[in-house]
Amino acid sequence: MFDSCADPKSLEGLAWALCYLTTGKHLLFYGSFFVVLALMLIVAPIALAFGFGGAIAARSPILPLRLFGKAYTAMVRGIPDIVFFLFVPVAMDQGLEYLRYLYKCPHDGTPVWANNEFAVCAAAKLPLSTAPQIWHEVYGFFLAVIAFSVVFGAFAANVLYGAMNAVPRAQLETAEAYGMTTAQVRRRILIPQMWTYALPGLSNLWMILIKATPLLFLLGVEDIVYWARELGATKSQLYDFPHGDWRVWYVLALLCYYLGMTKVSEIVLDRVTNRLSKGQATMAGEAQRKAAA
């Protein structure tokens, strides 16, 4: 990065450290922090939407919809995360490529799945093997977002389902007595009140999501844990910056990052809890009302 770094083996002390910490590899490491942040910020709203859909479906008076909502939460909650993270992206990748195979490939009788291989013609590959590497990475990231959203969406669905049931029945009955339709009751009374019950569960999920991001590496996305391991590994004289096994220092840096993330999240979530308790018929809401009076 700097001109003075041209001959790293002649450097010492601070100059060495400066050059070492600005190698192309370290810049990729720093960049991967943004990948992880982006993943969390993209997954959170999508998972919440999945959860909302799941919870509404699970409460639906229509039987197939109710069964779908319940099956979704039960299935994801019952299957180990790691199986899901390995299965969803592979299944989606092969599924999408198979769909493209149906209309892009010549059908000359070559089987798609044969002796362990999954082979579609070059035109059906996703992304095409001619696509620049960045598209392969974007695609991998996209599969990761879907996998995370499906898993965390199911947990969110269960939290929201519980929160919806926690809203006092009397509130809903009063609304019905005023002549509101079911949809109106749901939109005006149920949903605004459920958040205060849902928040503790959702904040738990958010914390778990923060700490689950290293699973990205399972999906082939080079995340912070991958780079920490790679950069910390022993470097022989073959490298520009030889050093011993420094993995512990890199892992400590990650520890600080994760602790920082959880601390910031806690502060924000506390504020949101406060805001949502305002005027609610809950203990927190009651305490706020008394303090103000």
Partner 1 sequence: MKKLILTAAALALSAGTAFAGDVVRMGTEGAYPPYNFINDKGEVDGFERELGDTLCTKAALKCEWVTNEWDSIIPNLLSGNYDTIIAGMSITDERKQTIDFTQNYIPPAASAYAAKSADANLKGVVAAQVGTIQADYVAKSGATLLEFPTLDDTIAAVKNGEADAVFADKDAIKPFVTEGGELVWSGADVPLGGGVGIGLRKSDTELKAKFDAVITAMKADGSLNAMIKKWFGDDSQVF
- Catalog residues that contact partner 1 under the rule CB under 8 A: 8, 23-25, 27-28, 90, 93-94, 97, 114-120, 122-123, 125-131, 133, 135-136, 138-139, 142, 145, 220, 222, 229-230, 233-234, 236-242, 244-245, 247
SS (H, E, C) 234-278: CECCCCCCCECCCHHHHHHHHHHHHHHHHHHHHHHHHHHHHHHHC
Nearer to partner 1, 74 or 128 (CB): 128
* CB of 37 vs partner 1, minimal distance in Å: 16
Pick left, alpha or beta for residue 239 (phi over 0 → left; psi -120 to 50 → alpha; otherwise beta). beta
Q: Which is nearer to partner 1, 61 or 111 (CB)?
A: 111
Residue with tokens 């909302």: 52
CB of 290 to partner 1, least distance (A): 46
80 backbone φψ class: left, alpha, beta (φ>0; ψ -120 to 50): beta
Q: Sort strands 113-114 and 117-118 into parallel, antiparallel or unpaired.
A: antiparallel
Residue 164 · residue 59 · CB < 8 Å:
yes
Q: C-beta of 4: minimal distance to partner 1 in Å?
A: 15
Residue 10 or 116 having the CB closest to partner 1: 116
Closest separation in Å from C-beta 75 to partner 1: 22
In this complex, which beta carbon is closest to partner 1, that of residue 195 or of residue 227? 227
Please state at what angle helix 24-59 crosses helix 133-166, rounded to 10 degrees. 40
Distance CA 141, CA 8 (A): 34
Q: Which is nearer to partner 1, 74 or 251 (CB)?
A: 251
State in angstroms the smallest separation of the CB of 142 from partner 1: 5
